[in-house]
Structure 1
Amino acid sequence: MLALRLTRAARPAVQLRRLLVAAASAGTGFLLLSCLGYALNRPEAADAAALRLAWCTLPLAATVYLALAVARTDPGTRPRPGLSAVGLGPARLMAISALTTALSCTLGSALALLFFLHLRGDLTGMPFDGAAADVLATGVPLPLPATATLLAVLPATATTAVAVALRPKDPRPRPAAEPHPTGSGTAGADGDETAPNGEPDARPPAPDSGVRTPVGLPWGVALVAAGLTAHAYAGRSAPALPVLLGWLLTATGLVVASPGLTHLCGLLLQACRPGALRLLAGRVLMTEAARIGRPLGVVSAVASAGYAMTTLYDDPAAAFGPLAALGALVVAGSTVATLLTVAVEARQCRAGTTAALLRLGAPAGTLRVAAALRAAALLALFAPLTLVIAALSALPLTR
């Protein structure tokens, strides 16, 4: 009941993000049910049905990623002082976030089932003159266990991902090793003591700058190179598995390398005698590289794959049917919505810093210009990179 009250009392922006999760869940659920209908209508084509079901993992993963991002930015389930006194500790808030995610995904799955039954003619007459009877298995009874299992995959996966990601962590710092007293000898490995007036064993740590440099850039570049190499050796006449493996390696490399590229973009903004505006924009990019880098990499991977697929076929409209278009819409829409949601999360995390800058007299227009500068810098880096990787991925397949 508490989760329902928090869901109902949320602001319109939060409700909109939850509706986006429900819409993505509905699209993914309809794709899964379409795979079931295709398998029921063509029991002899088991391999084709399994391949269709395997392709559904892409919209499934994109929807779970969106649900996780929405759960992170939910202000109603964020720990605040005083909530533990009324029984709303971190574990209880995590459970509420997981339950809210389950409600949104279950709503989408229910809508997918209703629309699927409507198209089959089980609720009303057959719409569209039975044009989609091939993937709907019209006239064949739907097996209830298989239907329930397919519709429960997305809510269960998204709820588990949210529960694992938002699980309470131990706030206590790890105990550090006690330094040796200054001026006293320390026993060595053989029982000898070092000189009392020598240098201490542990040097004082360097001051923390507050910005951690992402370490995945070399690995991401290596994965992208491996994926492009797999495309180059595959060729147009190769089976689908090497091509899919190459795209998977390339997409993984983009996701791994994107935090490092975002951090590098922030460094470039501060190069060559920067002013206060470029310093502010670059510092924010460096600080948020790990948070916004991975969604940027996912969007870049999806965009490059979509561009490569459209250039691979002479007539994309003939090659992609309505279900493929729905899958592409779910994947692209979920990744873009995830990026925007992460941007909202980053803005919420900067709320204290922004308020401090405003109290110090920083103009609000300067902060908006810095945000626009960050967006322009990221676009200038990732847009050409996406086009280059898409062209290199499609080049061996078009020869």
Structure 2
Amino acid sequence: MLALRLARGAHPLVLLRRLLVAAASAGTGFLLLAALGHAAAHPATATDALVRLLWCAVPVAATTQLAVSAARTDPASRPQRGMSAAGLGPVRLTLIAATSTAVSCVLGSFFALLVFLALRGDLGGATATGSATELLGAGSPLPLAGALILLAVVPLMAAAATAVVLRPRKDARAGRRGVRAATGTGDPLTAMDTNSTRSSVPAALPWGITLTAAGLALEVYVSRGSADADTLLPLPERLIGSPPGVLAGWALSALGLVLAGPGLTQLSGRLLAAGRPGAVRLLAGRVLQEESRRIGRPLGVLCAVASGTYAAAMVYDAAPTRPLGPLTGLGAALVLACVTASALTAALEARWARTHTTAALRRLGTPRSLLHRASALRILALLLVLGPLTWAIAELAALPLLH
């Protein structure tokens, strides 16, 4: 009940993020129900049904990431002064955040169930025909227990991930208090310089580069000797003839990009602050280094999804006889929307985290135009570093499938 009251009185931007989580949950729930309906209508093709269900794990993971990102930026999940005395300590706030996430996902899943049943013609409307019969399994009984279990996957995973990510950490709270004290009483640039020099390049960067290279090498090795792109298409519409090694190579490359995201972001900040930078370059570079661990992982996920989407589009162009199915298009659009919203939410969280630093800079007389130029320079640096890298990995991933 408290979670519902907090949701009702939340800021419109917070409500918008929760609405996005509900919409993502609805899209993922619809894909899960479509896989179940197809399996119920075609009991002889159990392998095809299992493959369709396994591909739904990608939208489930993207929706979970979006839900966690939205919960991290929710003001109701942050400890406030006097809330512990009212019985709302860190543990209780974590439970409230997990409950709010679960409620948003349940609403989206319920809406997906209504739309799915309406399209199948199970709600007393017109009987479904054509593609709805093939894709949604219209005309065959839908197992209610299986549908409810699948619809509960997204709310349970999102709530559990939110509880794990937002669980109280004594060391993290002490570190944040130390950073705020440093930025509030001293020179903010000096404070950021101290933190950035202490934090070296993340240890996951070499692992990310290694996994990306291993994934590309595995894909080249598996696809060697086969010139028929029609049998190598690793997309949900025609997965039966796809070599498992190709999918494993894509997965390794994507995981490598995700792991390398924080390190690449920090290296972008170091390049900006290299040499004898001016005030704008110095501020932009040090902020990127300070926020690399917060925004690097969502940016890595975004780069991995963009790389996979670009490579898949190239493979589809090489095999024009395979049209992009509506469920595949829905899944791709859902994943792209979720990872993009997660990256933007992480950027908002980073902006909130440096509020004290920005206030200290304003007290020192820093003009707003300089802060805006520094923000634009950070975005430009990330585009120049991550954009070509994402394009190159996508080209290398798709190249073996085109020959």
Deviation of the 1:319 alpha carbon:
3.2
Q: Which has the higher helix share?
A: 2
Deviation of the 1:297 alpha carbon:
0.7
Residue correspondence of structure 1 range 195-214 to structure 2 within 5 A: 209-211=194-196, 212-213=199-200, 214=202
1:107 match: 107
Q: Match of 2:31, as an amino acid?
A: L
2: distance between equivalents of 1:173 and 1:66? Answer: 27
Unaligned runs of 5+ in 2: 176-191, 233-241
Q: Match of 1:271, as an amino acid?
A: A
2: distance between equivalents of 1:71 and 1:317? Answer: 43
For the 8 Å contact 1:304–1:390, the answer to whether it is kept is: yes
For the 8 Å contact 1:234–1:396, the answer to whether it is kept is: no
1: distance between equivalents of 2:389 and 2:256? Answer: 13
2:183 match: none
RMSD (CA atoms): 1.8
Q: Is 1:72 aligned with 2:72?
A: yes
Residue range with higher mean Cα deviation, 54-63 or 133-142: 133-142
1:178 match: none
1:221 match: 209
1:164 match: 164
Residue correspondence of structure 1 range 195-344 to structure 2 within 5 A: 209-211=194-196, 212-213=199-200, 214-235=202-223, 236=226, 239-314=242-317, 318-344=322-348
Deviation of the 1:385 alpha carbon:
0.5
1:193 match: none
2: distance between equivalents of 1:317 and 1:127? Answer: 30
For the 8 Å contact 1:231–1:393, the answer to whether it is kept is: yes
For the 8 Å contact 1:310–1:316, the answer to whether it is kept is: no
Larger radius of gyration: 1
1:88 match: 88
TM-score, normalised to structure 2, is 0.88
2: distance between equivalents of 1:44 and 1:132? Answer: 19
Residue range with higher mean Cα deviation, 325-334 or 73-82: 73-82
2: distance between equivalents of 1:6 and 1:241? Answer: 47
2:375 match: 371
2: distance between equivalents of 1:102 and 1:345? Answer: 21
Unaligned runs of 5+ in 1: 175-206
For the 8 Å contact 1:312–1:394, the answer to whether it is kept is: yes
Secondary structure of the structure 1 residue equivalent to 2:80: coil
Deviation of the 1:318 alpha carbon:
3.8
For the 8 Å contact 1:40–1:137, the answer to whether it is kept is: yes
Structure 1 pair 358–249 and aligned structure 2 pair: CA distance change class (3 A): same
Which deviations, in whole Å up to 9, do the C-alpha atoms of 1:302-321 show, x marking residues without a partner?
Answer: 01101111111235694320
* Alignment coverage as a number of residue pairs: 367
2: distance between equivalents of 1:327 and 1:123? Answer: 25
Q: Match of 1:340, as an amino acid?
A: L
Q: Match of 1:210, as an amino acid?
A: N
For the 8 Å contact 2:128–2:138, the answer to whether it is kept is: no
Q: Match of 2:343, as an amino acid?
A: L
Q: Match of 2:304, as an amino acid?
A: A
Structure 1 pair 165–233 and aligned structure 2 pair: CA distance change class (3 A): same
Deviation of the 1:169 alpha carbon:
2.2
For the 8 Å contact 2:38–2:134, the answer to whether it is kept is: yes
Deviation of the 1:208 alpha carbon:
9.2
For the 8 Å contact 2:268–2:285, the answer to whether it is kept is: yes
Q: Match of 1:359, as an amino acid?
A: R
Q: Match of 1:219, as an amino acid?
A: W
For the 8 Å contact 2:69–2:345, the answer to whether it is kept is: yes
For the 8 Å contact 1:60–1:154, the answer to whether it is kept is: yes
Which deviations, in whole Å up to 9, do the C-alpha atoms of 1:330-381 show, x marking residues without a partner?
Answer: 1100000000000000000011111111111100111111011000100011
1: distance between equivalents of 2:359 and 2:322? Answer: 53
For the 8 Å contact 2:311–2:395, the answer to whether it is kept is: yes
Secondary structure of the structure 2 residue equivalent to 1:146: helix
Secondary structure of the structure 2 residue equivalent to 1:251: helix
- State percent identity of aligned pairs: 56
Q: Match of 2:267, as an amino acid?
A: L
1:149 match: 149
Residue range with higher mean Cα deviation, 314-323 or 339-348: 314-323
Deviation of the 1:128 alpha carbon:
6.8
2: distance between equivalents of 1:7 and 1:173? Answer: 29
1: distance between equivalents of 2:203 and 2:269? Answer: 15
For the 8 Å contact 1:41–1:135, the answer to whether it is kept is: no
2: distance between equivalents of 1:263 and 1:22? Answer: 33
2: distance between equivalents of 1:173 and 1:166? Answer: 15
1: distance between equivalents of 2:309 and 2:341? Answer: 17
Q: Match of 1:71, as an amino acid?
A: A
1:188 match: none
Which deviations, in whole Å up to 9, do the C-alpha atoms of 1:235-294 show, x marking residues without a partner?
Answer: 156643101100110001101111111111001001231001100000000001111111
For the 8 Å contact 1:3–1:99, the answer to whether it is kept is: yes
2:25 match: 25
Which deviations, in whole Å up to 9, do the C-alpha atoms of 1:113-148 show, x marking residues without a partner?
Answer: 000000011124237744311122222222111011
